[in-house]
Structure 1
Amino acid sequence: MTTVILVRHGRTTANASGVLAGRTAGVRLDKTGRDQAARAGERLAVVPLVGVVSSPLERCRQTSRAILDQQTGAPATPVDKGIIECDYGQWQGRSLSELGAEDLWSVVQTQPSAATFPGGESLPAMQARAVDAIRRRDAAFEAEHGPQAVWAAVSHGDIIKSILADALGMHLDLFQRINVDPASVSIVRYGTSRPTVLAMNTHAGDLSWLRSTSASPDAQVGGGAGPEAPASARF
């Protein structure tokens, strides 16, 4: 029942200019993105993370460092190619306004399970390797640190959306209904019977309750009483 906090990288120069960066090297956080990453780190500072795993791309590694800067006894930050950005192939580096005129654009919007980027990756393949990477890392953290451990994965918008869709039991064709903003925090707990989505696309709010939540493998009929924040976090 380990808990994973999914963090999208902060805003980049490509995001700000409306360019699909993909796996382009050297795309970094802009000033807004650095501030966003720092705020995400401040939110997560109240949660003792047992690990932070990052996409290999620089914008995610920058965001990971901002999170670790706020952690006491910061854990190592391995990179995992399983959560790298989608391979957009020939779409990479082009403006979103230009891509909107492509026939494939409507497929990506309405039937992503049928979308394969020219010279790149299909969206189903992207989801499969991202979900596999998260579940594999989650199992490893649980084996090492126990079922109450909390860890973070820093990745990309479409990657996190596809992981959330899987956790929600949604068909990939519905994943565009999910929004994941720069530096947003989403939370998933993988139980023995099913995943539980605890939060999606959050930008603010106390996360100290993650330090004391006693996870149950069963859904609480009627909704339950909810988590109680540790005494040190109460006002």
Structure 2
Amino acid sequence: MTTVILLRHGRTTANASGLLAGWTPGVQLDEKGQEQVAAVGARLADVPLAAVVSSPLERCQQTAGAVLAGRELELQTDDRLGECRYGDWTGRPIKELLKEPLWKVVQQHPSAAVFPGPEGEGLAQTQARAVAAVRDWNARLGPDAVWLACTHGDVIKAVLADAYGMHLDSFQRIVADPASISVISYTETRPFVLRVNDSGGDVSALIPPKKKARRSRKASSDAVVGGGAGPGGA
């Protein structure tokens, strides 16, 4: 199975100011965000990654750089992992957007939400391109790979909703905090969502077993009836 670690970028100056950054250039991690990404880089240091792929936006590039520290990998960039294109909402305070009629659509029926202006896209478009990116990288890296995608909150929520088999209209039930990781393993039959919004848990279960052990026990697409013993269980 191919496992993707979805990492949201650390906190930014826009997050702290209550602004919807979108694709605004130059949005950087703030001091808190820098601390967050240093911590997540240290948490993931022992997890062998086949690739680190990032949104092109600066806040994700900075975050991915912290994960790459000490690794012999080059950062890959994929525009499909970029933030939702919020169009005319970009750069506006969230407190103002709360008053827009579209806000209720985004909250209650996000599959129908299309952001205004020539640069705006629909959340359904965001989901389609992000899921396509994950699936493409899975195919490129192979069934034994563990790789990391550094991206944005709504993008991560949309990919998780797809993995859960949830309609996009339910994706607002999912939370992806700054510098949190969410993990999905993709098998021939179905994805398994292993973690969501994890900001401090042990990650040793993400380290693949040695090749000899893997040959002796092929990864299954079946769900364990009753829930199983968890990572490391018999």
Note the C-alpha offset of 1:217. 1.5
Note the C-alpha offset of 1:212. 3.4
Question: Does structure 2 conserve the Cα–Cα contact (< 8 Å) formed by 1:187 and 1:197?
Answer: yes
The separation in 2 between residues aligned to 1:203 and 1:15, in whole angstroms, is: 17
Note the C-alpha offset of 1:85. 0.4
Note the C-alpha offset of 1:74. 2.8
How does the TM-score come out when normalised to structure 2?
A: 0.93
The separation in 1 between residues aligned to 2:105 and 2:186, in whole angstroms, is: 31
Q: CA RMSD in A?
A: 1.2
Q: Secondary structure at the match of 1:186?
A: strand
The separation in 1 between residues aligned to 2:132 and 2:58, in whole angstroms, is: 22
Question: Does structure 2 conserve the Cα–Cα contact (< 8 Å) formed by 1:212 and 1:228?
Answer: no
What is residue 6 of structure 1 aligned with on the other side? 6
1:54-73 alignment runs, 5 A limit: 54-69=54-69, 71=70, 73=71
The separation in 2 between residues aligned to 1:77 and 1:104, in whole angstroms, is: 36
Note the C-alpha offset of 1:194. 0.6
Note the C-alpha offset of 1:48. 0.8
Runs of 4+ in 1 over 6 A off after TM superposition: none
The separation in 2 between residues aligned to 1:127 and 1:54, in whole angstroms, is: 16
Note the C-alpha offset of 1:225. 2.0
The separation in 2 between residues aligned to 1:94 and 1:149, in whole angstroms, is: 39
Gaps of 5+ in 2: none
Q: Secondary structure at the match of 1:35?
A: helix
How does the TM-score come out when normalised to structure 1?
A: 0.92
**214-223 or 119-128, larger mean C-alpha shift:** 214-223
What is residue 199 of structure 2 aligned with on the other side? 203
**Cα deviation code 1:203-227 (max 9, x no counterpart):** 0111112213563221111112222
**Cα deviation code 1:28-60 (max 9, x no counterpart):** 000000100111111111201111000000000
Gaps of 5+ in 1: 230-235
What is residue 232 of structure 1 aligned with on the other side? none
Q: Does 1:136 align with 2:136?
A: yes
Q: Does 1:174 align with 2:170?
A: yes
What is residue 225 of structure 2 aligned with on the other side? 221
What is residue 107 of structure 2 aligned with on the other side? 109
Q: Secondary structure at the match of 2:193?
A: strand
Question: Does structure 2 conserve the Cα–Cα contact (< 8 Å) formed by 1:90 and 1:118?
Answer: yes
Q: Secondary structure at the match of 1:187?
A: strand
The separation in 2 between residues aligned to 1:17 and 1:210, in whole angstroms, is: 34
What is residue 29 of structure 1 aligned with on the other side? 29
Q: Does 1:157 align with 2:161?
A: no
The separation in 2 between residues aligned to 1:192 and 1:219, in whole angstroms, is: 12
Aligned residues with identical type, % of pairs: 59
